[in-house]
Structure 1
Amino acid sequence: MPRFFFDTYDGERFFPDEVGMELESIETAKTEGQKALPDMAKDALPDGNFRSFVVSVRDESGQVVLRMALSLVVEVGCADA
């Protein structure tokens, strides 16, 4: 099974994945990365009004094969809420 590494960036700090996970396919890696994004946002609420959370997935050769991001925007005084 191929090994994928999930490097994360929470808008302030970069966390390289040195261990990785053995997964069946790149599609499975995509699902795992997508599941991580909301947890990252929940654990690191922004001090300001905007923060982006990023997961970069590398394969065993170190090449980035997927990159996904989630942006959290806080808008104050919005009439359309």
Structure 2
Amino acid sequence: MARYYFDIHDGQVLIRDTQGSECIDDDAVRQEAMGTLPAIARDVIPTDGDKQAFTVLVRDENNMTVYMATLTFAGLWMGDMPIPEHEPAD
């Protein structure tokens, strides 16, 4: 199995993975990246803002970036606007 490194970027800071994880194939790399993003976002989304993006950059053993995934949080206050009713199709 090959070792991959999952670096995290929050729009300001890049945190380098120094230990890495062994993955059997490309799908395992993708699954690891997909699992990493929500776990990090859950703990790091700022309480004073409604926009944040997290990116995982995956490097292989040769230090080449082989995969990238981004998770974006965007919140929007709607005020007192009612939710529109669903109108049936004619």
How high is the TM-score relative to the length of structure 1?
Answer: 0.89
* Structure of larger gyration radius: 2
Unaligned runs of 5+ in 1: none
- 1:6–1:20 CA contact under 8 A, matched in 2: yes
Q: Structure 1 vs Structure 2: percent identity of aligned residues?
A: 31
RMSD: 1.7
- 1:10–1:40 CA contact under 8 A, matched in 2: no
How far residue 27 of structure 1 moved from its aligned partner, in angstroms, is 1.3
1:52 maps onto 2:61 in alignment: no
Distance in 1, matches of 2:44 and 2:12, equals 10
Unaligned runs of 5+ in 2: 85-90
What do the CA deviations read for 1:27-81 (whole angstroms, capped 9, x no partner)?
Answer: 1011000011111110012231200001000110011000000000010016459
Distance in 1, matches of 2:7 and 2:49, equals 24
Q: Which residue of structure 1 aligns with residue 6 of structure 2?
A: 6
Q: Comparing 65-74 with 11-20, which one deviates more in the overlay? A: 11-20
How far residue 11 of structure 1 moved from its aligned partner, in angstroms, is 2.9
Q: How does 1:28-47 map to 2 (within 5 A)?
A: 28-46=28-46, 47=48
Number of aligned pairs?
81
